[in-house]
Amino acid sequence: MSFQLQSVSLVHPNGQRALSSVSLAARRGERIAVIGSSGAGKTTLLRLLASALRPTDGRVEVFDVRPWQLSAGKLRRLRSRIGMVYQVPPLPPRQRVITAILAGRLGVWPWWRSLLSLLYPADIAGARDQLARLDLADRLFDRCDRLSGGQLQRVGVARVLYQKPELMLADEPVSSMDPALADYTINQLVTEATTRGVTLVASLHAVDLALRWFPRIVGLKAGEIVFDLPPVRVTEQALRDLYASESGPLPLHGEEPFVLPTRALGRDAERRKSSCS
């Protein structure tokens, strides 16, 4: 098992209930998209999986261990196997792109390597390779504050690609990108997950991206899972219920009219999944 949540609830310290009795499990290599309106608990769910938030109730297992029962050292090593792409990448504005990407490995590097890498970047080629996958290689030595929001998001993706985690989490990873670039970037994440056979969980605001790239769609509403289905079985009605909008348009990333995926695409997604496991 890559992870397992059993009736997990989380109440924030201010009393706001973010998740109620959520159960979700994934085998290694699964790709899951979490969709739902703003405030549904998508970020909280991902942060629980990252062992960054502790559940108020219920049981969390990541890589078959319960993170909150580990010693400090083991918890640190567990966290170094989990990578998170943030909607707003938490990168210091004055940091150079190369440093931001190399920081992905700080969890596994010995301390002296982390220190030396500040004097001279420890792995220029490795960082450049990941950045090149996102079509941004020419910005390797630029400072983060010279980049646009979408470019910064790609640096955040490159950091996690460089980290090579066994569980990749992505919280609205392409929200600042144009449709073509968003599609391309999700493709890179999916490719990484399939070639290395690691688990990918992404929360996406754009329904079309989720349905196109992920064999498993989890709908989250008011902190509860309302459906957990392959894309072919996600109906338009289910989506309208999820976003509680009978009349308004569904949130999409592309501008083309929304068409529910055909069975062929669904099987294609299934095939992609099985080919990697």
Partner 1 sequence: MLLSATAIHPRDPDARRRATALVIAIIVLWPLLVVAQFNPAILFDAKNLAAMAAFLRGFVPPEMSAEFLGHVVRATVETLAIATTGITLAFVVAVPLALAVTRSLSVSRIGPGPGYWRGTAVRAGVRMLLTILRGLPELVWALVFVRVLGLGPAAAVLALAITYGGMLGKVYAEILESTDTTPARALLESGSRRGAALLYGLLPNAAPEIVSYTVYRWECAIRASVMMGFVGAGGLGQLMDQAMKLLHGGEAATILIVFLLLVQLADAISARLRKQLA
> Contacting partner 1 (CB under 8 A), which of 75, 137, 265, 276?
75
Binding to partner 1, residues 186-245 (CB under 8 A): none
Tokens (6 digits) for 50: 């990252």
Q: Which range of residues in 36-44, 84-92, 127-135, 146-154 is near partner 1 by CB under 8 A? A: 84-92
Print the binding letters for residues 149-188 with partner 1: x by CB under 8 A, - otherwise. Answer: --------------x-x-----------------------
Residue 15: partners with Cβ closer than 8 Å, 6 or more residues away: none
CA distance 157 to 269: 22
Q: Which stretch binds partner 1 (CB under 8 A): 34-42, 52-60, 129-137, 211-219?
A: 52-60
Is 9 a residue that touches partner 1 (CB under 8 A)?
no
Q: Angle at the Cα of 92 (from 130 to 11), degrees rounded to 5?
A: 95
Residue 11 interacting with partner 1 (CB under 8 A): no
- Cα of 273 vs its chain's centroid, Å: 17
126 scored as a contact of partner 1 (CB under 8 A): no
Closest CA relative to residue 139, chosen from 120, 123, 158, 122: 158
90 binding partner 1? (CB under 8 A): yes
**CA count, 13 A, side-chain hemisphere, 144:** 21
Q: Does residue 146 touch partner 1 according to CB under 8 A?
A: no
54 forms part of the interface with partner 1 (CB under 8 A): yes
**101 token code pair:** 């990407």
| 116 lines the binding site for partner 1 (CB under 8 A) | no
Binding test (CB under 8 A) with partner 1, winner from 51, 130, 188, 199? 51
State yes or no: residue 87 binds partner 1 (CB under 8 A).
no
Residue 188 φ/ψ, nearest 5 degrees: -65, -40
The whole-angstrom separation of Cα 79 and Cα 127 is 21
Distance CA 111, CA 125 (A): 21
- Give the residue from 42, 73, 62, 54 showing the smallest Cα distance to 12: 54
Single out the residue of 91, 127, 202, 210 in contact with partner 1 (rule: CB under 8 A).
91
Q: Is the dihedral of CA 275, 130, 73, 110 positive or negative?
A: positive
- From 87-95, 219-227, 234-242, 267-275, span contacting partner 1 (CB under 8 A): 87-95
Q: Which residue's CB is nearer to partner 1, number 110 or number 249?
A: 110
Across-strand partners of 8?
Answer: 22
- 92 contacts partner 1 (rule: CB under 8 A): yes
Which residues of this protein are in contact with partner 1, per CB under 8 A? 50-54, 68, 70-72, 75-84, 86, 90-95, 99, 103-104, 106-109, 111, 114-115, 118, 163, 165
